[in-house]
Amino acid sequence: MTEAINFDDFLKVDIRVGTVIEAVEFPQARKPAYKLRIDFGDEIGIRRSSAQITVHYQAEDLVGRQVAAVVNFPPRQIGPFISEVLTLGFGDSNGDIVLIHPERAVPNGSRML
């Protein structure tokens, strides 16, 4: 069983939707990954993320796709790259990541409610 948190703790996690505007291979990563640039709209702007999603996604297919990400974690150094947001997904039966995304298009920067 997971540890319980209160609702105020949950509200501290700022999960937003953004559109991938660039996806390139990240050969310096320990595990296969892409470097993403994601547009979160005017309030947050464009942020970078490293994502280990190479099994289910090709870089060129990610451009234009909306994704969910935590935007209020501190930046994290991953090799020579600074990841500014945590792109969210679930592990499939093999542990390979499947991205979380809205069922329908929503404005970039929309917050998960």
Domain ranges of the chain: 13-99
pLDDT on residue 84: 98
Tens digit of pLDDT for each residue in 44-98? Answer: 999 999 999 999 999 999 999 999 999 999 999 999 999 999 999 999 999 999 9
Q: Does residue 1 surpass a pLDDT of 80?
A: no
Neighbouring CB atoms inside 10 A of 46's CB total 15
pLDDT band at 113 (very low <50, low <70, confident <90, very high): confident
Instruction: Please report which residue ranges of 35-104 form alpha helices under DSSP H.
Output: 41-44, 59-62
What would the CATH number be for the domain defined by 13-99?
A: 2.40.50.140
pTM of the model: 0.94
